[in-house]
């Protein structure tokens, strides 16, 4: 293995380790420094880490910038995990419609995890129910999706009773 390739893997692992251990801001700072030095060439895995760090810190504009830079500057096509991170970042920041629009415009088919990232942030009945139905279409037997969807209804005042209570 080429020395630079080996170093890149170690540096990318270092960034991931920092982010996973609560040092998210530091991981982004080091990522910027490594890019300036030309020591690391970002790939899909690097951007999963960077977008996850942005999500953790609520850095929507920075996340958008990194997501755009993937194709524009680095010739890296986003994979499903990159899209999931971006959807999660937007949704957790309250940009639910933008997150759904991103899902609808993906060049690859969104999977259960993609819709799940959006549903986890939904608090509005119409969107939560719509996203929940998409998830149930993809995996109708997944208990977790039924639970997530049932948790949306009480937050908007819809309550279900058991037969014994009626």
pLDDT, tens digit (0-9, with 9 covering 90-100), for 40-76: 778 888 899 889 889 888 899 999 999 999 999 999 9
Nearest one of 20, 96, 35 to 65, comparing CA atoms:
35
Q: CA 130 → CA 82, 83, 93, 99, 133, distances in Å?
A: 23, 19, 19, 14, 5
Q: Is 164 a domain residue?
A: no
**CATH classification at residue 89:** 1.25.40.10
Q: Is 124 a domain residue?
A: yes
- The Cα–Cα gap between 56 and 166 comes to 43
Q: Is 149 a domain residue?
A: yes
- The Cα–Cα gap between 161 and 77 comes to 48
Residue-level length of the chain: 166
Residue of 4 and 43 predicted with greater confidence: 43
Q: Is 9 a domain residue?
A: yes
User: What pLDDT does 126 receive?
Assistant: 61
Nearest one of 75, 68, 138 to 109, comparing CA atoms:
138
Q: CA 30 → CA 48, 140, 166, distances in Å?
A: 15, 43, 59
Instruction: Give the chain's domain count.
Output: 1
| Residue 123 near residue 94 (C-beta atoms within 8 A) | no
Give 11's pLDDT tier (boundaries 50, 70, 90).
Answer: low
The residue behind tokens 């690391």 is 40
Which helix H or strand E contains 135, and what residues bound it?
helix 125-138
User: What pLDDT does 85 receive?
Assistant: 95
Q: Is 108 a domain residue?
A: yes
**3-class SS of residue 124:** coil
User: What pLDDT does 38 receive?
Assistant: 77
Would the pLDDT of 6 be above 50? no
Which domain, by its residues, includes 7?
Answer: 3-155
pLDDT, tens digit (0-9, with 9 covering 90-100), for 98-135: 999 999 999 999 999 999 899 878 765 467 777 877 88
| Residue 47 near residue 82 (C-beta atoms within 8 A) | yes
Give the mean pLDDT of the chain. 80
Would the pLDDT of 12 be above 70? no
Average pLDDT over residues 143-163: 61
Q: Is 25 a domain residue?
A: yes
């Amino acid at each position: 293995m080429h020395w630079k390739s080996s170093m890149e893997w170690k540096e990318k692992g270092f960034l991931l380790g920092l982010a996973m251990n609560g040092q998210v801001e530091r991981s982004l700072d080091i990522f910027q420094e490594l890019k300036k030095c030309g020591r690391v060439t970002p790939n899909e895995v690097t951007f999963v880490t960077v977008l996850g760090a942005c999500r953790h810190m609520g850095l929507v504009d920075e996340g958008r910038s990194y997501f755009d830079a993937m194709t524009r500057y680095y010739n890296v096509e986003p994979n499903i995990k990159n899209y999931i991170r971006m959807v999660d970042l937007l949704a957790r920041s309250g940009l639910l419609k933008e997150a759904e629009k991103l899902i609808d415009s993906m060049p690859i088919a969104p999977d259960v995890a993609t819709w799940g990232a959006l549903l986890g942030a939904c608090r509005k009945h119409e969107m939560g129910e719509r996203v929940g139905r998409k998830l149930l279409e993809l995996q109708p037997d997944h208990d977790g999706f039924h639970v997530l969807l049932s948790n949306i209804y009480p937050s908007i005042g819809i309550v279900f009773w058991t037969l014994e209570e009626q």
